[in-house]
Structure 1
Amino acid sequence: MIATHPAPRRASSLRDLFRRVPWWGTVLLLTLLALLWIYPFVWMVSASLKSSTEVFSGGVSLWPEVFVWENYARAWDDAGFGRYMLNTVIVTVATVVIVVVRCALCGYVLGRYRFPGSRLIVGILVATLFVPTGYTIIPIVKLSMELGVLNSLTGMILALGGAANVSFILIYAGYFRQLPKELEEAAIMDGAGFLRVFWTIMLPLSMPVTATVALLTFLATWNAFFLPLVFSFSRPELRTLSVGMQAFVGENATDWSGMAAAGVISIVPIVALFLFLQRYFVEGIAGAVKS
């Protein structure tokens, strides 16, 4: 019985210790962690402005001796990243639209309606989380060949947008489940049907969740490599940014400075989108956890 007392006292002493740490100590610790977290990105920006030899001969110095802006021109024009950027934007935007609409509709039905087999459907969706992505590539290629969209951006969009996205469906279902039923009842009394209630009332109310799903889908699609590689294997002009990185890897050497410049080009839109949607992203995650 005596041995059960020291654990709470130890936890209490740790809490008291953290409370006695001055505020500037906490700020200093968080600043160091932030610098450690963003160092790889800063190094990539620095390497994109150096020559290939200076990338490794410069040591830990992040300031280039000579700013080589030609790396960006070489990545954009010579390596074809202008075309790859356009392909990536088309594929990503179309995939985000498909995933958001599909997951919102599924989440709305599962969250607001009870019908025979609804629990079985949820169980099957959850079970797909344990299926490795590599196992689905063969049926995806087979279906794309049957539809005649294998070597096209359309096939790439359908393949990326047709994933299960179970977590997004469950987030939408949890959010829609907590909304008042009076909203639907009032709209139905005014003559609104299923789709009108969804598009005009439910979907606008789920903007925080939609922003979260859109941002996560954008990140996953923008950085996707395996499926775009398969769909652009015989047509290099269909490559996305992640697949186009392979253009800097030669048989005997690698253009590290050009690859770093291409990496900066590819990551800037992601950073800009996250800064724009970060408030909605936090609200969506908080709402999903609360539900």
Structure 2
Amino acid sequence: MAVLVSDDRRRSTSARRRARAGRTAGRSLTHLVLLGGGLLWLFPFLWTLGSSLKSPDGFFSKGLNPLPDGVHAGNYSSAWQQASFGRYFVNTVLVAGGSVVLVLLATSMAGYVLARTNFPGRKAVIGLISVTLFLPHGYTIIPIFDIVRGLHLLNTVWAVIIVQASSGLVFATFLFMGYFSTIDRQIEDAAKVDGASFHQTFWRVMLPLSGPMLATVGLFTCISAWNSFFIPLVFTLSKPELRTLPVGMYSFVGQNSTDWTFLCAGSVISLVPIVVIFLLLQRYFVNGLAGAVKG
């Protein structure tokens, strides 16, 4: 009997070891696949970064090799000064910053009203807003262009800011509506007992509590405005000095030749700020999305 028990224990121990080894091998294989996918995903950025430091001859001789033939940091200064990237950078900051401010102000108030009030026609308003979410920008650009021209804002930074901000209002409103729906109503009731009005409750209580969603919507809007090409191109077409970075990068593309190393340097200049902003706000970004989905 003792021999049988001992054999059963050995078989059980051996089975556990094999199962543990299988799980370890499975995790290792998963990590390798994810690491390979991550490197494949990062390769275009690494290649752009390396190519921005290459010489014009090295750009073509190295091919897809991301390692530069030498550190030609002058590509960045040339892109910044000779190609007016400094001006494009300032324009992009103005457009992105202005769009973020307008979107946060408008959508936070709209989302709070839709989440916390039951006014007549509320469902109809939500349905109408939902329909506009699926309208392609190409179908609405002509009437928007006529409105901007009628307001005498064509070929101004304000035109780009207003149109760019309007493109993200619907999605951001729904995010705020979902987030405000998760906040306990007892907080509002306590504010009302203290004598706060509807507007005071929003500005002094609810808006400060929506910090994660403010960061989330601000990040979405900033990325969208920073990378936008179509809207800045249309509304600053006759004023090249008002170009943003995505539009300005086309100045490196000529009819007969293209300054590829300068183009890569300009791409890195345009990518680094938005990557830094995302890294700084990623914690609030995740919390804000979790709150909106929960709502």
TM-score normalised by L of structure 2: 0.89
Tell me how far apart the structure 2 counterparts of residues 123 and 169 of structure 1 sit (CA, whole Å).
13
Structure 1 residue aligned with 2:177: 173
1:98 aligns with 2:97: no
1:209 aligns with 2:190: no
1:87-166 aligned within 5 A? 87-163=91-167, 165-166=169-170
Residue 25 of structure 1, CA deviation: 2.8
* 1:141-175 residue CA offsets vs partner (Å, 9 max, x unmatched): 11111111111111111111123532221111111
Tell me how far apart the structure 2 counterparts of residues 95 and 173 of structure 1 sit (CA, whole Å).
20
Structure 2 residue aligned with 1:252: 256
Give 3-state SS (helix, strand or coil) of 2:215's partner: helix
Q: 2:82 aligns with which of 78, 82, 85?
A: 78
**Aligned residues of 1:47 and 1:55 also touching (Cα < 8 A):** yes
Residue 20 of structure 1, CA deviation: 5.8
1:198 aligns with 2:202: yes
Residues 164 and 84 (structure 1), Cα distance of their counterparts in 2 relative to 1, 3 Å cut: closer
Tell me how far apart the structure 2 counterparts of residues 225 and 29 of structure 1 sit (CA, whole Å).
34
Structure 1 residue aligned with 2:68: 64
- AA matched with 1:31: L
- AA matched with 1:282: V
**Aligned residues of 1:125 and 1:164 also touching (Cα < 8 A):** no
Residue 32 of structure 1, CA deviation: 1.4
Give 3-state SS (helix, strand or coil) of 1:130's partner: coil
**Aligned residues of 2:182 and 2:294 also touching (Cα < 8 A):** no
CA RMSD of aligned residues (A): 1.7
Tell me how far apart the structure 2 counterparts of residues 18 and 238 of structure 1 sit (CA, whole Å).
60
Structure 2 residue aligned with 1:13: none
TM-score normalised by L of structure 1: 0.91
Unaligned runs of 5+ in 2: 1-19
Q: 1:240 aligns with which of 239, 244, 249?
A: 244
Residues 257 and 164 (structure 1), Cα distance of their counterparts in 2 relative to 1, 3 Å cut: closer
Tell me how far apart the structure 2 counterparts of residues 35 and 164 of structure 1 sit (CA, whole Å).
32
Give 3-state SS (helix, strand or coil) of 2:146's partner: helix
With 214-223 and 172-181 compared, the bigger mean Cα shift is at: 172-181
Residue 21 of structure 1, CA deviation: 3.6
Tell me how far apart the structure 2 counterparts of residues 290 and 194 of structure 1 sit (CA, whole Å).
24
Q: 2:280 aligns with which of 276, 279, 285?
A: 276
1:47 aligns with 2:51: yes
- AA matched with 1:269: P
Residue 29 of structure 1, CA deviation: 2.2
Residues 270 and 264 (structure 1), Cα distance of their counterparts in 2 relative to 1, 3 Å cut: same
Give 3-state SS (helix, strand or coil) of 1:49's partner: coil
Structure 2 residue aligned with 1:11: none
With 152-161 and 73-82 compared, the bigger mean Cα shift is at: 152-161
Residue 112 of structure 1, CA deviation: 0.8
Aligned residues: 276
Tell me how far apart the structure 2 counterparts of residues 243 and 18 of structure 1 sit (CA, whole Å).
52
- AA matched with 1:110: L
Tell me how far apart the structure 2 counterparts of residues 236 and 105 of structure 1 sit (CA, whole Å).
36
Unaligned runs of 5+ in 1: 1-15
- AA matched with 1:26: T
**Aligned residues of 2:156 and 2:242 also touching (Cα < 8 A):** yes
1:181-192 aligned within 5 A? 181-192=185-196
**Aligned residues of 2:168 and 2:221 also touching (Cα < 8 A):** no
Tell me how far apart the structure 2 counterparts of residues 164 and 68 of structure 1 sit (CA, whole Å).
39
Residue 240 of structure 1, CA deviation: 0.5
Tell me how far apart the structure 2 counterparts of residues 81 and 164 of structure 1 sit (CA, whole Å).
26
Tell me how far apart the structure 2 counterparts of residues 18 and 43 of structure 1 sit (CA, whole Å).
37
1:227 aligns with 2:237: no
Residue 22 of structure 1, CA deviation: 4.3
Could you tell me the percent identity over the aligned residues? 47
Structure 1 residue aligned with 2:33: 29
Tell me how far apart the structure 2 counterparts of residues 18 and 279 of structure 1 sit (CA, whole Å).
35
Q: 1:264 aligns with which of 250, 264, 268?
A: 268
